[in-house]
Amino acid sequence: MKLATKFRSAGWLLGAVSLLFCACDEEADEATSRPKPPDAGEISDASDAHAPAEISEEFLAPAGDGFQTLVVGSWEVPAASELYYCVRFTLPQDLTIGAFRSLSPLGTHHTLITVADDAFAPDGAFECDALTGGIHSVTAAGVGSNDVEMPEGIGMELKTGQQLVLNLHLVNPNDTPLRGQSGILMRLMAADTVEHRAESLMAGTIKLELPAKETTTQRGTCTMAGETTLFAVVPHMHALGVHLKVVAHSSVMGDVVLTDRPYEFGSQLTYPLDERVPMKKGDKVDVDCTFANPNDHMVKFGNGSADEMCYAGLYRYPALGDIYVCIQ
């Protein structure tokens, strides 16, 4: 069964997004504000007509290499435009996931999936912002991301009836419309082989002030809410980011550098840790982001591609179930 979901947005043409296994028919609210990307021109099409989103049943479709479809969206972004686009969908069955793979073609700034913190909202697609989602992170990917592989005996578990939120940040700097298909694939594993349930969270800071014509380093700190073990790290900044360092202050192992390397926006890789790092309740993780701002104005944290972010995705087990954004 296929249904069409329409979207309204003053001055923005939302493209078609294919969802998996859920079906609804509603109109999303108008966006209240949205920063423009650098050098974005005015959208010439000021009509109020918008392409519908087709909701189709493609859940678990084979995607090669043992991966299957979790959620994939087909989209179109107008010329010189930028938008955030979210999708809510409810799981029809339990899933035990051993790996994630992103579909991130040109135009996909990031892809994020969380478990919704408001299960009363209906399934469907709508305009959103960078922080729209749930309190529990599932996985995230940026430009040039590689596969996320769980260690042996570690799996991500999702349950029947959980509502997931797919958050896409789409950017088109070109003078013609841009079309593509973005989303997340998964490789399932046998539930009886899981010894520990994994989760991910974003550590860092939103208190960013990057002075004009300067290189600065700013820190965010995440405090562990319980005993857990870190096994992978994923740096995320925007175009002004030049270096990212993450240090875990473990009561068991002391200070452990999880990553300390130059940052490239076009290569946002997941780095499995050479040695897993056990963390006790109250242990901290420091995220140091270094930015070079060539502009004549200060740049701060924000949702747009011309703004900045300072995050490190952390994969850990066992899942503690606290919020997916951990900042101080």
Give the residues across from 314 on adjacent strands: 201, 233
Task: Check whether residue 122 and residue 216 sit in a common domain.
Answer: no
CA–CA distance, 327 with 301 (Å, rounded to integer):
13
| pLDDT at residue number 118 | 67
pTM reported for the whole predicted model: 0.80
109 lies in the same domain as 202: no
Domain boundary among 160, 176, 193: 193
- Regarding whether 115 and 22 lie in a shared domain, the answer is yes
- Structural domain includes residue 60: yes
Domain C-terminal end among 193, 219, 234: 193
229's enclosing H/E stretch is strand 228-237
Question: Considering its fold, how many domains does the chain have in total?
Answer: 2
Write the CA distances from 261 to 221, 245, 320, 328, integer angstroms.
18, 7, 28, 23
| 150, 172: one domain | yes
Cα 87 versus chain centre, distance: 13
Predicted confidence at residue 72, as pLDDT, reads: 79
Q: What residues have CB less than 8 Å from 181, skipping those under 6 apart?
A: 18, 72, 73, 74, 75, 103, 105
List, in order, residues 6 or more apart from 151 with CB less than 8 Å away: 231, 272, 276
Residues 305 and 275 occupy one common structural domain: yes
**Taking the chain (328 residues) in consecutive chunks of 10 residues, what is each chunk's mean pLDDT?**
26 33 33 32 30 50 90 85 87 96 90 82 81 82 92 96 90 92 92 96 94 98 96 96 98 98 92 97 97 98 91 94 76
Within 10 angstroms of residue 230's Cβ, the number of other Cβ atoms is 23
Domain end point (choices 193, 209, 228): 193
Q: How far apart are CA 89 and CA 295, in angstroms?
A: 40
User: Does 229 share its domain with 320?
Assistant: yes
Same domain, 58 and 186: yes
Is position 257 within any domain? yes
The parent domain of residue 269 ranges over 198-327
> Are 187 and 231 found together in one domain?
no
> What's the start-to-end Cα distance of the chain, in Å?
46
**Residue 226 and residue 211 share a domain:** yes
For residues 64 and 177, membership in a common domain is answered with yes
What order do you get walking across the sheet with 254-262 strand by strand?
214-223, 284-293, 241-250, 254-262
Whether 180 maps to a domain, the answer reads yes
